[in-house]
Amino acid sequence: MTMTTYASPDFTGSAQTISVWAPNAERSVHLVADGVRSLMRSGDDGWWHSREPLAVGSEYAFSVDGGDLRPDPRSLLQPEGVHGPSQVVDLGEYEWSDAEWQGHHTRAGGNGLEGAVFYELHIGTFTEEGTFEAAAARLDHLVDLGVTHVEILPVNAVPGRWNWGYDGVNWYATSSAYGGPQAFQAFVDACHAKGLAVCLDVVYNHLGPNGNYLPVFMPIYNEARQSPWGTAINLDGPNSDEVRRFIIENALMWFERFHVDAFRLDAVHALVDESAVHILEEIVANLEAAAERLGRRVVVVAESDRNDPATVTPRRREPVTGEIAVADGGSSGLGLTGQWADDIHHALHVLLTGETQGYYEDFADPEALAKVFTTPFFHDGTYSSFRGRRHGRPVDPAQTPGWRYVASLQTHDQVGNRASGDRLSHLLSFGRLACGAALLLSSPYTPMLFMGEEYGARTPWQFFTDHDDPEIAAATSRGRAEEFAAHGWGDEVPDPQEESTFTNSTLDWSELDDTEGESALLLDWYRTLIRLRRDEQALAADDLGTTRVERRGKGSSSVVVVHRGDLRVVVNLSDEPVTEAGEVVAAWHTVDVREGRDGSGSSVVIPTDSVALLR
């Protein structure tokens, strides 16, 4: 199998020819634009083309074989929602100011994640207004914090007024609720002006249940394959070449037309593809080719449940002849830049909270923390009780740097998929939150924060939807309650269809108004740790296997000492203060630093739920 190199669809100009891939059409495809109905011209391989170009701002839809009007599968804007007509947009109209921007400059000067710190946010709940413009007004907060990448949850069109973004049905359309495509371009431009890279979360493994009209046009599903969401996307069945093109050109559009720097690919383990060249490898190859052509950098990070280092193992580079990259016998890996490492989250969560239910059970192992600080996969061929089988594969520390793995204390999934969307700040003291921050930000991995984590936000982040189909809405509400009823949480689960579930999840920035309070102290602690991660060679090191973890005591009532080069991160989760010798590099505000009387150096008394970094 060969890999064709693609380019982003044009989507520019004051008048545009409208084309649609509709091989499912048996007789005809009609275009209805601004109230005028016309027969489209049949082209090659199932493509249909408008006979006249449409002006920017025109609203249009398609009728396949005389059926109901449906939006364009490649629509850029759905002004009346996912069921309404599409609108012609000129993506070349925005005047960019980021000509000098080349992306996050890593320590090695390459395309990796060295030195990166991610910050995950949801545009709709990051601010009260819930728009790109309002989010841009908060960028100085992120710059002061010291993060390098703003990772935003999916921005494509979804049913209703609010959604996490994973129910997307128009992969090319930017949500009008957030401001639409030009507002997104302006947001990315504003990030670049502040020195922030933008990582976009994209979903190619499934489509939402409400407003998905792609099957009217194309064989988007492979009936012979199943995924966790039902029938799998058609990545390797008949007519799958154009489906793959549909996906790859979408990624190229975000990169080329919206200047996105990085991608987080949702649940890649659910991309069912038995092709010789996996869709992930083809996405990466095309993005890298575009980056080289444009003189930019691109980063591709996967969310994967497979614990397989092949995801980030560099792919074999194939020679390019014309428009075809010719495979030369296979590749050594899929070649993604990095991947999420949930095992690190699980080990940290169990240590800090003591929770051991569900998939946390295995991480009650006293050796779990020590293992995940030297390899990202706790399950690397070992038995997983949650799965009831062996899981994962070892990572070779000599071949794989720690920066390839994204680690976190909280994410949209780990918070939002709790029954009531409670954050660590609802479960832990501020001192213990500071301990967690020190462990994460001193690790050899690429850290990621979830919006509000840096100041201990008290607002929950819950699962919310706004489905307008009564049956889907009822099933969503019912399913959410039933999902947690087995845990005894049935009465506490917010109804995802209630507006209050969405509004309650919006960050309350007034929590930072008290500049002397614990939220301000925690924010300053995060700033300090991120600065030290950049300035201290020991914390910047990402060689796996060089970190050593020492545990004194048991479970979540222990003293943890993480050795990173000449630094020690001493975390006291026990019931008694501990005294440690050494030069204090940084400490949570409750510690007591004591200078030696004979000039022999200082020591520090670390009370319970507190932490110090010592040299």
Give the residue numbers marked as catalytic.
Answer: 266, 303
Which residue in 371, 298, 315 sits closest to 341, CA to CA?
Answer: 371
Per the DSSP assignment, residues forming a β-bridge with 231 are 226
3-state secondary structure 586-606: EECCCCEEEECCCCCCEEEEE
Give dist(CA 219, CA 316) in Å, integer. 31
How far apart, in Å, are the Cα atoms of 404 and each of 115, 222, 261, 275, 455?
11, 32, 16, 25, 26
Give dist(CA 563, CA 578) in Å, integer. 17
Compute how many other C-beta atoms are within 10 angstroms of the C-beta atom of residue 134: 16
Please tell me what DSSP assigns to residue 428: S
Give dist(CA 328, CA 508) in Å, integer. 54
How far apart, in Å, are the Cα atoms of 608 and each of 26, 309, 441, 554, 571?
71, 37, 20, 14, 9
Contact 570, 615 (CB under 8 A): no
Token pair in block for residue 19 = 């084309």
Q: What are the residues whose beta carbons fall under 8 Å from the beta carbon of 10, sequence distance 6 or more?
A: 16
Q: What are the residues whose beta carbons fall under 8 Å from the beta carbon of 408, sequence distance 6 or more?
A: 120, 340, 344, 345, 414, 440, 447, 448, 449, 450
| Cα-Cα end-to-end distance for the chain | 54
3-state secondary structure 527-579: HHHHHHHHHCHHHHCCCCCCCEEEEEEECCEEEEEEEECCEEEEEECCCCCEE
Q: Give the SS3 label for residue 225.
A: strand
Q: What are the residues whose beta carbons fall under 8 Å from the beta carbon of 462, sequence distance 6 or more?
A: 416, 420, 421, 494, 496, 501, 502, 504, 505
Distance of CA 422 to the CA centre of its chain: 19
Q: Within the chain, what is the greatest distance between any pair of CA atoms?
A: 94
Contact 380, 395 (CB under 8 A): yes
Per the DSSP assignment, residues forming a β-bridge with 14 are none
Residue whose tokens read 């996906």:
247
Residue whose tokens read 């431009």:
189
Token pair in block for residue 184 = 């997104």
Contact 544, 447 (CB under 8 A): no
Q: Provide the total of helices (H) and of strands (E) in the chain, helices listed first.
A: 15, 35
Contact 609, 595 (CB under 8 A): no
